[in-house]
Amino acid sequence: MRLNAYLARSGVASRRRADELIKAGRVRVNGEPGRLDTFVGETDMVEVDGANVAPQRLAYVLLHKPPGVVTTARDPQGRPTVVGLVGHPLRVVPVGRLDAETTGALLLTNDGALAHRLAHPRYGVEKVYVAQVEGEPSRAALSRLAEGVELEDGVTAPAKVRRLGPSRVELVLHEGRKRQVRLMCEAVGNPVRSLHRSVYAGLGLEGLAPGEWRELTEAEVKALRGLTRSARAHS
């Protein structure tokens, strides 16, 4: 495991902050100064400022994100964060992002390797959104959403779309562009009024009220790993 990943798994700091600690000479591996390209094995001893550190157990948390909470560990503006809301004893961070006003399923973990795969476009992790929009989308608008919409960074991939009500639409995406659902709906003339992610990577919110969270089961973690393995095998 690379040294910065080891420090992140130990709850010392994020990988970026860990790089800064390494560059500052505050990290030693087996008594020698650590380097950015240092790899750490099971028997190696790692110290930060003279104190031994060791990886924490892996943790996986599903949060029902409420509105007004930002998807970060810290916020310069002092807004509530998802990490503060969860308050897990281990250092877990969000996988991907939801806008502050978007609600719904959000995964947090300290498993950096799995988080990277889930967030990477090549794995096409499924995300289900329910959007309350302005006006009543026409059949043509729904077809455009399903077939692909031209955005500034290119045409969106095909999506599953169905009408849930006059102004309520469900979209199933396998991409993760920034503010994608909002931009797509705006592009077809039906801007989003409220947005909720009901499912992420097969994880729904049954039994979780807004603001509540739970640990994933072993079967759910295994399923997440299977998702990324199968996607990699077919890429």
d(CA 1, CA 76): 31
Catalytic residue among 49, 75, 99, 111: 99
> Residues 148-153: contacts with CB within 8 Å, 24+ apart?
149/183, 149/184, 149/187, 149/188, 150/187, 151/177, 151/180, 151/183, 151/184, 151/187, 153/177
Q: C-alpha angle 132/137/142, rounded to 5°?
A: 100
- Indicate if 99 belongs to the active site: yes
d(CA 188, CA 210): 30
Q: Where are the beta strands (DSSP E) in 12-55?
A: 27-29, 32-33, 46-48, 51-53
In total, the chain counts a number of residues equal to 235
The neighbour count for residue 144, using CB atoms within 10 Å, is 19
Q: Where are the beta strands (DSSP E) in the chain?
A: 27-29, 32-33, 46-48, 51-53, 60-65, 93-94, 103-109, 127-133, 150-151, 154-155, 160-165, 168-173, 192-200, 203-204, 213-215
Active site positions, annotated: 99
